[in-house]
Amino acid sequence: MNHKEPSNKAAPLLQVKHLCKQFLIGKSLLKRHRAQLNAVNDVSFTLQKGKTLGIVGESGCGKSTLGRCILRLIEPSSGQVLIEGEDLTTMPAKVLNKMRKDIQIIFQDPYASLSPRMTIHEILREPLDTHRMGSPREREEKIAQIMQEVGLRAQILNRYPHEFSGGQRQRIGIARALVLEPKLIIADEPVSALDVSVQAQVLNLISDLKNKRAISFVFIAHDLAVVQHICDEVAVMYLGHIVEQASSEELYRNPRHPYTQSLLSAIPVPNPHKRSKAIILTGDVPSPINPPSGCAFRTRCQFAKPICAQSQPQLTTKKETPEAHKIACHLVQ
Ligand code: SF4
């Protein structure tokens, strides 16, 4: 199969089409009777150049698996990932490795994502050498420029990751993602392992870089409050499905899916006169190995009706919502 769709530079930067990822769980020599875990279920979205999409949901909802499937760090089971019209999912490894220069990742855990045996200089120089970017002198200039952009002093280049705080290590992780001048960065919970005081600094840095460099981000988080000011659009995931998607402004102003409403109600509001009652979700997230029939959220939804157990609601635009606002709920008209 030809990995190239018709080349189209006017195509959106990223298109994810009907992406699915299943894992087979448990040991069996015959590979029969193994349970299937549906981590990502028929996920589709489009991301334009220079825009940021937030993917939000509780632990285990499939958001990190989705991020890794986009990069093919995990092979998707089916569906397509198109970068400027080129299909990553069918691309030969050699071509994919070249394309990886354009798509980088910032990992959640800055402690684990940096090699403890490499100096900061080696960490930043390695991708430039691998992709043969510029002359040796230009590579050094690029490292110096990136260090400055992420707020790190050039004097620390010969030190090792363990010598830095969590926030500084995440800055190094961001520098490593930026050094190849990617078009797209998958930021996988980049602040959730950091202290609250440091989170704001790293979020501000990502926001500045996004505006300055017009890089597109897929920003994965478990907290809607984190993505509110950084994302142009937000998709809320539950048990592998996107259940609501809208522009950031619209989603926070007019959440329609009961799950989004509960997530938003849990965000602390500093003004006591504007506080709304928190919607407490009862029960745990169901197992993705044995998800509920129909709507995956029905076992925790206070509005569930018999129809919710019978068929899975599709992610569609509803009456009185803008075209780009999509909700997967039988009861939202
Ligand atoms: Fe709740 Fe039913 Fe809507 Fe699912 S489809 S969110 S169970 S009302």
Percent of the chain with pLDDT over 70: 92
pTM listed for this prediction: 0.90
State the distance from the centre of ligand 1 to the C-alpha of 261, rounded, in angstroms: 12
Whether 279 is in a domain gets the answer yes
Q: If you take atom 5 of ligand 1, which residue's CA is the nearest one?
A: 329
State the distance from the centre of ligand 1 to the C-alpha of 286, rounded, in angstroms: 15
Which residues are CB-contacts of 211 (< 8 A; sequence separation ≥ 6)? none
Q: If you take atom 6 of ligand 1, which residue's CA is the nearest one?
A: 329
> What's the gap between Cα 108 and its chain centre?
11
The answer to whether the beta carbons of residues 51 and 248 sit under 8 Å apart is no
267-277 residue pLDDT tens: 776 666 665 67
> In terms of Cα–Cα distance, which of 105, 102, 70 is closest to 188?
105
d(CA 154, CA 59): 37
Pocket test for ligand 1, best of 308, 312, 315, 332 (most atoms within 8 A of CB): 308
Whether 297 is in a domain gets the answer yes
State the distance from the centre of ligand 1 to the C-alpha of 257, rounded, in angstroms: 8
pLDDT score for 30: 60
Whether 191 is in a domain gets the answer no
Structural domains of the chain, count: 1
State the distance from the centre of ligand 1 to the C-alpha of 311, rounded, in angstroms: 10
pLDDT score for 271: 65
88-102 residue pLDDT tens: 999 998 899 888 899
pLDDT score for 275: 59
Whether 310 is in a domain gets the answer yes
Report how many helices (DSSP H) and strands (DSSP E) the chain contains, helices first: 10, 12
Whether 298 is in a domain gets the answer yes
Ligand 1 binding residues, C-beta < 6 A: 258, 295, 297-298, 301, 303-304, 308, 313, 329-331
State the distance from the centre of ligand 1 to the C-alpha of 304, rounded, in angstroms: 5
Nearest-atom number in ligand 1 for the CA of 307 is: 2
Whether 331 is in a domain gets the answer yes
The answer to whether the beta carbons of residues 169 and 198 sit under 8 Å apart is no
**pLDDT top residue among 9 and 152:** 152
107-139 residue pLDDT tens: 988 778 889 999 999 999 999 999 999 999 999
Whether 328 is in a domain gets the answer yes
By CB atoms closer than 10 A (0-12, 13-18, 19+), residue 198 is middle
pLDDT score for 283: 75
Nearest-atom number in ligand 1 for the CA of 305 is: 2
Mean pLDDT of 314-325: 86
**pLDDT top residue among 180 and 60:** 180
Pocket test for ligand 1, best of 242, 295, 311, 333 (most atoms within 8 A of CB): 295
Q: In Å, what is the CA distance from 264 to each residue of 64, 115, 277, 281, 327?
A: 21, 37, 10, 12, 15
> In terms of Cα–Cα distance, which of 266, 260, 258 is closest to 303?
258
Mean pLDDT of the chain: 89
Which residues are CB-contacts of 95 (< 8 A; sequence separation ≥ 6)? 3
State the distance from the centre of ligand 1 to the C-alpha of 237, rounded, in angstroms: 14
Kindly state the helix (H) or strand (E) to which residue 111 belongs, with its residue range.
none
CB neighbours (10 Å) of residue 50? 15
Look at residue 31 and tell me whether its pLDDT is greater than 80: no
Structure-token pair, residue 197: 């005081």
Whether 201 is in a domain gets the answer no
The answer to whether the beta carbons of residues 135 and 141 sit under 8 Å apart is no
pLDDT score for 214: 84
The answer to whether the beta carbons of residues 36 and 21 sit under 8 Å apart is no
Position 161 confidence tier, pLDDT thresholds 50, 70, 90 = very high
Task: State the residue range of the domain holding 295.
Answer: 255-333
The answer to whether the beta carbons of residues 14 and 218 sit under 8 Å apart is yes
